[in-house]
């Protein structure tokens, strides 16, 4: 893996590393980390320590973080185009997920360099699958803006979302963020807060936002937190008889059937299909 034939680019491997438990490093990830020519990482000391703990001889380590990614990506792509293989890791978990790497991956793709994922640990997925909240569809918000209109807009979007939202938060801001979520979503909204995932003091707490504020205030903040906020409560859709009655009254009041269907969708939360079928029944009657 250390070198490609002359004229052929190397491969950029995006490698997931443990978020706590070293046993979560896959055999494939271990192999890739030990065979690449260059390893791009947020903190060379931290990644060097990881390699030492898992028994992997370190390749050349290059720091790639939020402050230097734009400048350093070009040099790494040059190495890839020269045939070197490069692995990208973050301090923990999956790179690019609220971590650096997006510019490097985009630059490699633009240069027609192969980019290959080596999947593995992810804090957001670990928290989601143990949350007990619907996992069929969800949104990831990363770290919320700290203040201002952008923060309020993101909180409002979470409050209105018809599917769960996941965000990260630091230990010293968890109480404030839960309080802001309670203001926008209502204190009764269901929430799951996970911290220290896969580590010795792993904790997953489930309850309401109002309860979560009290728990955060009473506890000792430790480690990065993952917050899973349940979807907004969905209003019960009207039945066919209710729709027919409403549309019949709207038509009797002078609305065109098409306008009555639109009004039923907007005012009653009905699906357009159900409202249309109800309007056909009204017309038959």
DSSP assignment of the chain equals --BPPTTS---EEEE-B-SS-GGGS-HHHHHHHHH-SEEEES-HHHHHHHHHHHT----EEEE--TTTHHHHHHHHHHHHHTTB-EEE--SSBSTTSSSS-HHHHHHHHHTT--EEEE----HHHHHHHTT-S--SS-EEEEEPPSSHHHHHHHHHHHHH-SS-EEEEE-GGGHHHHHHHHHHHH-TTSEEEEEESTTSTT-EEEEEEHHHHHHHHHHS---S-EEEEEPPPPPPPPPPHHHHHHHHHHHHHTT--HHHHHHHHHHHH---HHHHHHHHHHHHH-
Query: What pLDDT is recorded for position 12?
Result: 98
Q: Is 145 exposed, middle or buried (0-12, 13-18, 19+ CB in 10 A)?
A: middle
- Full strand arrangement of the beta sheet holding 203-208: 139-143, 165-169, 225-229, 190-195, 203-208
Instruction: State how far Cα 80 lies from the chain centre.
Output: 29
Q: From 204, 229, 197, select the one nearest 93 (Cα to Cα).
A: 197
Q: Furthest-apart CA pair in the chain: how many Å?
A: 80
CATH code of 12-121, in short, is 3.40.1010.10
pLDDT tens per residue, range 88-117: 999 999 999 999 999 999 999 999 999 999
**Main-chain phi, psi angles of 57, to 5 degrees:** -70, 125
Query: What pLDDT is recorded for position 1?
Result: 54
The CATH superfamily label for domain 124-229 reads Tetrapyrrole methylase, C-terminal domain (3.30.950.10)
Query: What pLDDT is recorded for position 86?
Result: 98
Evaluate whether 228 touches 128 at the Cβ level (below 8 Å): yes
Query: What pLDDT is recorded for position 4?
Result: 44
Query: What pLDDT is recorded for position 36?
Result: 98
Query: What pLDDT is recorded for position 240?
Result: 86
**Main-chain phi, psi angles of 13, to 5 degrees:** -100, 125
Low-confidence ranges of the chain (pLDDT < 50): 2-5
């Amino acid at each position: 893996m250390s070198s490609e034939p002359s004229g052929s680019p190397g491969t950029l491997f995006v490698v997931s590393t443990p978020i706590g438990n070293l046993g979560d490093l896959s055999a494939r990830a271990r192999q890739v980390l030990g065979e690449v020519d260059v390893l791009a990482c947020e903190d060379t000391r931290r990644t060097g320590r990881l390699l030492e703990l898992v028994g992997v001889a370190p390749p050349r380590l290059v720091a790639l973080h939020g402050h230097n990614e734009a400048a350093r990506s070009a040099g790494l792509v040059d190495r890839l185009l020269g045939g070197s293989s490069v692995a990208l890791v973050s301090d923990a978990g999956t790179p690019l997920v609220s971590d650096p790497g997006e510019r490097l991956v985009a630059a490699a793709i633009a240069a027609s360099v192969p980019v290959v994922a080596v999947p593995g640990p992810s804090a957001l997925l670990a928290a989601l699958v143990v949350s007990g909240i619907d996992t069929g569809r969800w949104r990831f918000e990363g770290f919320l803006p700290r203040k201002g209109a952008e923060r309020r807009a993101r909180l409002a979007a979470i409050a209105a979302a018809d599917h769960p939202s996941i965000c990260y938060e630091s230990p010293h801001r968890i109480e404030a963020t839960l309080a802001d979520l309670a203001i926008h979503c209502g204190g009764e909204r269901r929430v799951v807060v996970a911290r220290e995932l896969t580590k010795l003091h792993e904790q997953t707490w489930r309850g309401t936002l109002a309860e979560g504020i009290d728990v955060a205030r009473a506890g000792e903040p430790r480690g990065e937190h993952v917050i899973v906020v349940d979807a907004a409560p969905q209003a019960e859709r009207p039945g066919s008889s209710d729709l027919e009655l409403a549309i019949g009254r709207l038509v009797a009041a002078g609305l065109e059937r098409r306008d009555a269907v639109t009004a039923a969708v907007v005012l009653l939360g009905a699906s357009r299909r159900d409202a249309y079928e109800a309007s056909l029944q009204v017309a038959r009657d």
